[in-house]
Amino acid sequence: MSLNSINLVGRAGQDPEVKYFESGSVLCKFTLAVNRPTRNKETDWFDIEVWGKSAEFAANYVRKGGQIGVEGSLKLETWTDKNTGANRSKPIVRVTKLELLGSKRDAESGGYNDMEM
């Protein structure tokens, strides 16, 4: 049995970047800051990737500082550093469900509270 699942609640670190492809696909990327439940209040940063209708939803309603919840899976992006030739990698959260959280006013300004692919 194998399992690749992640659930996060945090705040958007930036306004989403949207890319439209000739094929009709839509990709939305942004970062998510998630506070660890420790006394030092350390923050972990995650790269978020949303595709399709959920990407359009995120592009329209996610804003820097807004609280959101995401469900999805981790994918490992790998590349070779052009300067050093070293192999590099970083985890990316590929979202399958996105939910706007926060105050009632935040939800009203967005018009929706969640989107599932």
pLDDT tens-place string over residues 53-103: 999 999 999 999 999 999 999 999 999 999 999 999 999 999 999 999 976
Question: pLDDT by residue (tens digit) across 19-61?
Answer: 999 999 999 999 999 998 888 889 999 999 999 999 999 999 9
Residue 12: pLDDT band (50, 70, 90) is very high
Provide the pLDDT for residue 74: 95
Domains of the chain (ranges; CATH) run: 6-116 (2.40.50.140)
Across all residues in the chain, what is the average pLDDT? 88
∠ CA 13-14-16, rounded to 5°: 125
Beta carbons within 8 Å of 13's beta carbon, 6+ residues apart = 30, 31, 32, 33, 45, 64
Q: Which two tokens stand for residue 110?
A: 């967005």
Q: Write the single-letter amino acid at 50.
A: V
pTM listed for this prediction: 0.80
Length of the chain in terms of residues written: 117
